[in-house]
Structure 1
């Protein structure tokens, strides 16, 4: 049976696959994401997320003949794109910038086998951050811990971060960084799961 390799160190992506009882292994790619972002000349954040997903999956696929899944996510707001915050201070600034506004999470997935991209998926989610108080922000920053630098929005939507939002238009799993239903369909087509 074909085995899936997840080309991502993301704990939440791993948890999504584990909860769905999907057999898989994890191998991080070692791809220099910053170099790819700096060399990229496009303007569509979803295309950047796809490019990063393909690069990760392709790097891992070079060492395996199994199906490799890469994923990435880019946060976009008012024509600007954001990476993960590098510190709690940067996370605070990010959340203040998002406060009261609607941003978009651009998710890109790519599956690679034997060095060839065989599947791509793009998905967008729109999230409206509520106009939270400074006191709430201080509470959130203290309680959130490592979440602040683990996601592009400095929140874990599946946990305490849900309290930051007024409205969400998008798939729950896509917001977490791995749209599950399209992945399940791919895995059935590729023989990783029973049809």
Structure 2
């Protein structure tokens, strides 16, 4: 296969998922102000699923403008807990506050992907996973943050389920790849249908 995918994302986790699955890709981080866009969608009363899809498409479109004839994949992940949206924590203090807000409660991770070519959206998919966090003690939380370190700022949930973050949870319902930030199996299927993977 000689056709490579352009991944419009700075997420190391998404790139690893795709490469581990055998996808040849080039990473181009889009110049998109996600915080401003999220605030705009919140103000308009958009729901979390529509917002995730819109952000994924904006990332793909921003990169696609300079990638004639190439397939560009944009992706986004949102975290919602009882109507409140959470963003990637800016620092350890923000991660601590976020985890305290989520502990003992259910939250949803919404992962969206959009495939674009020459400015045209060809396909999109969104999936939701439900996670229940343990009612962890402050002592446990400090231990977790000390051990996890700055990695907590790389995830919208301030955890990585594939690592130490598993200790925070009592239950996960949904697709594992969705939790990691990409609905991988549907993405692989659409890439296969466009000749980027073996059928």
Deviation at 1:132, TM superposition (A): 1.3
| Aligned 1:27-176 pairs, distance under 5 A | 27-40=28-41, 41-64=44-67, 65-176=69-180
SS in 1 for 2:155: coil
Q: Distance in 2 between matches of 1:44 and 1:23?
A: 33
Q: Structure 1-normalised TM-score?
A: 0.97
CA distance in structure 2 between the aligned counterparts of 1:116 and 1:3, rounded to whole angstroms? 18
Aligned match of 1:191: 195
Distance 1:128 1:148 in 2: 18
Paired residue secondary structure (2:161): coil
TM-score (norm 2): 0.95
SS at match of 2:125: strand
Q: How many residues align?
A: 195
Deviation at 1:42, TM superposition (A): 3.2
Q: 2:182 matched to 1:178? A: yes
SS in 2 for 1:125: strand
Measure the CA separation in 2 of the matches of 1:132 and 1:38. Answer: 30
* Residue number in structure 2 paired with 1:15: 16
* Mapped partners of 1:163, 1:183: distance in 2: 29
**1:26 CA drift (Å):** 0.4
| C-alpha contact (below 8 Å) 1:102/1:127 kept by paired residues | yes
Is contact 1:31–1:59 with CA below 8 Å preserved after alignment? yes
Q: Is the 8 A contact 1:5 1:69 kept in 2?
A: yes
| Contact 1:85–1:94 under 8 Å retained in 2 | yes
On the 8 A contact 1:2/1:190 being kept in 2, the answer is no
- 3-state SS, counterpart of residue 81 of structure 1: strand
Superposed CA RMSD: 0.9
Return 5+ residue gaps in structure 2 as ranges: none
